[in-house]
Chains A and B, each alone.
Chain A
Amino acid sequence: MTTRTPRKLTTSAMIASIAEEGQRTAKAPFGHALTRLADERPDVVGLSADLAKYTDMHVFRDAHPGRFFQMGMAEQVMLGAAAGLAEVGLTPFASTYSVFATRRAYDFLCLDIAEPGLGVNVVGALPGLTTGYGPSHQATEDLAILRGMPGLTIVDPADSVDIEQAVPALAAHPGPTYLRLLRGAVPTVLDEYDYRFEVGRAALLRDGRDVLFVSTGLMTVRALTAAAELAADRVDVAVLHTPTIKPFDRATVLREAAKGRLVVTLENHSVVGGLAESVASCLAFAGQTAHLVPIGLPDAFLAAGALPTLHDRYGLSVTAIKDRVRRAL
């Protein structure tokens, strides 16, 4: 009883925060952005499959109760209904966890929404490894599942700034979209950069001579931190943020990858079928080569546990990123 042991990390909650200690954050950026958009656009409606509180949709629900439709724990009808709402001229945002939108309701997203090219925006919370609840809730392959769907725009934003800008952009974008949602207290980072979200555009956030990070989603924030810390070791790292996974900004990736640097992809997703393979195929199809190092989740069902532990174990932490880069150089 006299010696103090360090606090044991536990799974603790379905949704652990992805923010680092001391990091600036914004609360429920998606919910607030959707509410602001709906103030201006009466065609915007929201749907939830019993997860409004956990996908930040509750902010919209409380602000515009007449335009919010609760569908219960039933993702197939939620996406079907979203299609029906779009068919009569409304602009739906339908949110649930990524695993349920993709694995469970794929046929409905594909045939009801994507095939007729409807302007439905599907919002998936807990993308990749953002919960310690194990494979039932970890959408480690949502990008792989969805990249094959014709006509679907896929966006993996980095932080609250990215989300706030993506929401009106996706509503204005014709056809269906899928947004990988970071919810709760979401880091605010990109306001320090000269950055604007644009559908289908990658953005070079910093330049560097030795290494090119091509990153997406929350890994862009880690990439920026890792790049800053590697600079102290005289490793000069560029960071290219690619929030749109589909359509992929091939031109920018090819241009930046052609500069002879080590190319490291960073994604909060399995190394199968996500950003790494998007970059690899983009290079290969263009007949271009590069030394490519994929940082992402292993091709495995992941463990349950505390999120910081898991991110370290599976190589997504800043420390793990730096180690990997040093080994590759």
Chain B
Amino acid sequence: MTSTHAPGTRAPNPQRVDALREAAHRIRGYALDMGEVQGQGYIGQALGVADILAVVYRDVLDFRPHDPHWPGRDRFLLSIGHYAIALYAALAEAGVLDVAELATYGGDDSRLPMSGMATYTPGMEISGGSLGHGLGIATGMALGLRHQGSTARVHTLLSDGELDEGSTWEAALACAHHGLDNVTAIVDVNALQADGPTGGVLRTEPVTAKWEAFGWHAVRVDGNDVEALVTAFDGLRAHRGSPAVLVCDTRVGCGVPLLENREKAHFMRVEEHEWQIARDQLTERHRTEETAR
């Protein structure tokens, strides 16, 4: 399913969408810069979720960039800890991290390890990496926040590969049972996992129907369509009575043609000379799309 406007919702205004597209473009740029430091990593996925993170961090979450532990903040749990490169880029875009610090990515004594660690990085709520943990912790946070009378919301980013983990579905049951409408799960469906295409490793489709069967309000969008994401999140903000999931179809390497077509896309190796090509392609693609609009 591609972007549609849910009944009763209006198309977001173009300035808002354009600003978020610019944010997504910067996030992609930061991810490429960090990728070059290590020469490899979950770069394809970072480019894939850049639009989602831009919308979440610049439009959806209520937080204070200089006070990451503010108790009233909306939580964002990166359940897929190995996407940390994407979140660091988003945290830099959001003003939580200094852009200059991104150069330390994956180095000794850096606050930005290759897999997300809560104790290392401001704004990183949980240590992810062992998959299937984020939604369970989100469940407890949401129960606790509701119990305390807080209106803060809990978001967690999962991947479609994480749907293999039984613990994700334990948490999905619990969220629905407890009517946790302060939980939003975001599932990055890039149809690719460590051993290959998700359809061949362990089939997870139909993803939307599974969440609906578990009692969730489920919406599916093109996760690389900023306007569709904004519209979807606007719709979810008003939803009450059950937890909500935004299923986002994304393209690995999105925005950089060279990397979109990589065969070994899960943990990507990029040659030294290719980084500049990738950056140039990113800029060129962004400009072309801007002109087309």
Binds A, one of B20-28, B49-57, B134-142, B270-278: B134-142
Q: Which of B133, B142, B143, B174 contacts A74 (CB 8 A)?
A: B174
Q: What number of A-B contacts does a CB cutoff of 8 Å give?
A: 101
Convert A61-87 into 0s and 1s, putting 1 for each residue whose CB lies closer than 8 angstroms to a CB of B.
Answer: 000001101011010110111111111
Within 8 A of A (CB), among B125-167: 125-127, 130, 132-133, 135-145, 147-148, 150, 154, 166-167
Taking a contact as CB atoms under 8 Å apart, the answer to whether A108 and B136 are in contact is yes
Taking a contact as CB atoms under 8 Å apart, the answer to whether A77 and B136 are in contact is yes
B residues less than 8 Å from A82 (CB atoms): 140
| In the complex, A45 has a CB within 8 A of chain B | yes
Q: How far is the CA of A92 from the CA of B147 in the complex (A)?
A: 13
A residues less than 8 Å from B147 (CB atoms): 45, 66-67, 90
Q: Which of A85, A89, A112 contacts B143 (CB 8 A)?
A: A85
Q: How far is the CA of A111 from the CA of B127 in the complex (A)?
A: 7
Q: How far is the CA of A222 from the CA of B63 in the complex (A)?
A: 56
Number of interface residues of B (CB under 8 A): 32
Within 8 A of B (CB), among A28-64: 45
Q: How far is the CA of A203 from the CA of B57 in the complex (A)?
A: 54
* Shortest CB distance A179–B (Å): 19
Taking a contact as CB atoms under 8 Å apart, the answer to whether A80 and B167 are in contact is yes
| In the complex, A172 has a CB within 8 A of chain B | no
* Shortest CB distance A309–B (Å): 37
Q: Name the prevailing secondary structure of the A interface residues.
A: helix
A residues less than 8 Å from B133 (CB atoms): 80, 107-108, 111-112
Q: How far is the CA of A324 from the CA of B142 in the complex (A)?
A: 54
Chain B's closest residue to A70 (CB) is: B177
* Shortest CB distance B74–A (Å): 12
Q: Which of B118, B144, B150, B167 contacts A77 (CB 8 A)?
A: B167
Given A76-B132, A108-B133, A111-B127, also A116-B119 (CB < 8 A)? yes
Taking a contact as CB atoms under 8 Å apart, the answer to whether A72 and B140 are in contact is no
Q: Which of B127, B142, B167 contacts A84 (CB 8 A)?
A: B142
Taking a contact as CB atoms under 8 Å apart, the answer to whether A85 and B136 are in contact is no
Given A80-B136, A116-B127, also A74-B141 (CB < 8 A)? no
Taking a contact as CB atoms under 8 Å apart, the answer to whether B137 and A87 are in contact is yes
Q: How far is the CA of A72 from the CA of B176 in the complex (A)?
A: 12
Given A81-B136, A116-B118, also A74-B173 (CB < 8 A)? yes
State which size class the interface on A falls in.
Answer: 20 to 34
| In the complex, A9 has a CB within 8 A of chain B | no
| In the complex, B240 has a CB within 8 A of chain A | no
Within 8 A of B (CB), among A106-159: 107-108, 111-112, 115-116
Within 8 A of B (CB), among A86-113: 86-90, 92, 107-108, 111-112
Which of A67, A84, A85, A89 has the most chain B CB within a 10 Å cutoff? Answer: A84
Which of B136, B166, B173 has the most chain A CB within a 10 Å cutoff? Answer: B136
Taking a contact as CB atoms under 8 Å apart, the answer to whether B174 and A85 are in contact is no
Chain A's closest residue to B175 (CB) is: A77
* Shortest CB distance A311–B (Å): 35
B residues less than 8 Å from A83 (CB atoms): 136-137, 140
Chain B's closest residue to A107 (CB) is: B130
Taking a contact as CB atoms under 8 Å apart, the answer to whether B171 and A77 are in contact is yes
Taking a contact as CB atoms under 8 Å apart, the answer to whether A87 and B140 are in contact is yes
Q: How far is the CA of A45 from the CA of B145 in the complex (A)?
A: 13
Which of A45, A79, A81 has the most chain B CB within a 10 Å cutoff? Answer: A81
Of the A-B pairs whose beta carbons lie under 8 Å apart in the complex, a sample of 26, sorted by A's number, is A69-B178, A72-B173, A74-B170, A76-B136, A76-B167, A77-B170, A77-B173, A77-B174, A80-B133, A80-B171, A81-B137, A84-B137, A84-B138, A84-B142, A84-B144, A87-B140, A87-B141, A88-B140, A88-B150, A89-B144, A90-B144, A90-B148, A107-B133, A108-B167, A111-B130, A116-B118
| Other A-B pairs, 9, CB within 8 Å; known A81-B174, A84-B136, A111-B127 | A77-B171, A80-B136, A80-B137, A80-B140, A84-B143, A85-B141, A87-B141, A89-B148, A90-B144
Q: Which A residues are within 8 Å of any B CB, using their own CB?
A: 45, 66-67, 69, 71-72, 74, 76-77, 79-90, 92, 107-108, 111-112, 115-116
